[in-house]
Structure 1
Amino acid sequence: MTSSTTTARRGGPVVGLLVLLWLVGLLALLWWAFALGMESWADQQSNGGARAAELGRQGNQLLLALAVVAAGGPALIALAAYWMRLVRTGTVFLVLAVAIGIPALWVAAHAYRDLAPSPPPPGPPGHCVELSGGDTRCPGG
């Protein structure tokens, strides 16, 4: 038995455990999405949407986490599979990571943009600013 055969035999359970952890993570995030949706629905029914902004922020956090787990899980599994010389398994999970990662990147970018709003545009100062060298138009001065 060669060293690569031994590594591949030990790699099967490790990759299987990583796949199981990835699926459990996805299911946990989907449960969070369901609970958040139910909370949002209950808020609309009872309070008229008083917590809509907070629930929207939580929804964006959920989308970011879902995008990272959905695309990052297969990428990590592919890396582990290649490291343990499971080339076909690594290739399958690498293709899966790319196929999920492209739309996940788009979703994550939009969720992050909504999560971190841009600063307000610069405008005139909200108070009187005295300028030197001329008459002042500030009240009292």
Structure 2
Amino acid sequence: MRAKGTEPSEVSGMVLGLLAVIWFIGVPLCLWQALATAFTGDAELDRGGTNAWLAAAAVIFTVAPVLATGICVFTARVVRAWIFGLVATACVLFVLASLYTEARQAELRRPPPPLPSGYCAEYSGGDSDCPGG
């Protein structure tokens, strides 16, 4: 039997339920809006809107389980804390892997740096047009 002040409150249970609803409905809704924004109108103008919806989905995807884990730890719900903690860890790792992949792809698509001014390349088998050569 627990002491009067140590039992998990009903409010924290309702907050956990609200976080679950936000997580299960908010992430797909944000992804749907990102797809709708990407396929309507001008692609260049809508790229910012698409990125904003994707960022919102990533934030909801990671923050809701982290908050739920914190609430479960604070209210001594051990099993739920472990479950939400594992889900939060998986979500954070997934988002970090996606960010790393996107950064790596952006690095590969970046054009090479320009050659310094006054650069002259000499080629074998021909005359040198470079100054001093």
Taking structure 1 as the reference length, what is the TM-score of the superposition? 0.60
In structure 2, how many angstroms separate the alpha carbons of the residues matched to 1:23 and 1:112? Answer: 27
In the superposition, relative to structure 1, how do residues 8 and 81 fare at CA in structure 2: closer, same or farther (>3 Å)?
same
SS at match of 2:19: helix
Alignment-mate amino acid for residue 22 of structure 1: W
Alignment-mate amino acid for residue 29 of structure 1: C
1:27-75 Cα distance to aligned partner (Å, 9 max, x none): 3302312322431xxx4xxxxxxx2222223222222222111111111
In structure 2, how many angstroms separate the alpha carbons of the residues matched to 1:123 and 1:64? Answer: 36
In structure 2, how many angstroms separate the alpha carbons of the residues matched to 1:37 and 1:24? Answer: 20
Point out which structure has higher relative CO (alpha carbons under 8 A, 6+ apart). 1
Give the superposition deviation at 1:88: 1.2
In the superposition, relative to structure 1, how do residues 10 and 57 fare at CA in structure 2: closer, same or farther (>3 Å)?
closer
In structure 1, how many angstroms separate the alpha carbons of the residues matched to 2:19 and 2:34? Answer: 23
In the superposition, relative to structure 1, how do residues 54 and 108 fare at CA in structure 2: closer, same or farther (>3 Å)?
farther
Task: Give the structure 1 partner of residue 36 of structure 2.
Answer: 35
In structure 2, how many angstroms separate the alpha carbons of the residues matched to 1:105 and 1:54? Answer: 26
Q: Percent identity?
A: 26
Aligned residues: 114
Task: Give the structure 1 partner of residue 66 of structure 2.
Answer: 75
Gaps of at least 5 residues in structure 2 are 117-133
Over 6 Å off, 4+ runs: 121-124
2:55 is equivalent to residue 53 of structure 1: no
In structure 2, how many angstroms separate the alpha carbons of the residues matched to 1:112 and 1:69? Answer: 21
In structure 1, how many angstroms separate the alpha carbons of the residues matched to 2:47 and 2:115? Answer: 28
CA RMSD of aligned residues (A): 3.1
Task: Give the structure 1 partner of residue 25 of structure 2.
Answer: 24
Taking structure 2 as the reference length, what is the TM-score of the superposition? 0.63
Structure 2 counterparts to residues 1-141 of structure 1, below 5 A: 1-2=2-3, 3-5=5-7, 7-39=8-40, 43=41, 51-108=42-99
